[in-house]
Structure 1
Amino acid sequence: MNLILLDPQDTSTQNRVIIRDPRRLRHLKKVHRAEPGTRLTVGLEGGLMGTATLTALDSEHASFTLDALDTPPPAALPVHLVLALPRPRMLARTLEHVTALGVKDITLLHTKRVEKSYWQSPELMPEKIHQHLILGLEQAKDTVLPTVTLRKGFRPFVEDVLPTLLTERRGLLAHPGMANACPCGITSPTLLLIGPEGGFIDWEVERLLGAGCEGMHLGPRILRVETAVTALLARLF
Structure 2
Amino acid sequence: MIEKVNLNNILFLDIETVPQEISYLGMDEETKQLWENKTQYQRKDQVSPEDFYERAGIWAEFGKIITISVGYFVNKADIRNFRVTSFWGDEKKILNDFSNLLNTHFNGAQHLLCGHNVKEFDIPYIARRMIINGLALPSKLNLFGKKPWEVPHLDTLELWKFGDYKHFTSLKLLTKVLGVPSPKDDIDGSEVARVYYIENDIDRIVTYCEKDVIAVAQVFLRLRREDLLVEDEIIHI
How does the TM-score come out when normalised to structure 1? Answer: 0.26
> Greater RCO between the two (CA within 8 Å, min separation 6)?
2
Q: Choose 1 or 2 for highest CA Rg.
A: 1
Greater share of residues in helix: 2
How does the TM-score come out when normalised to structure 2? Answer: 0.26
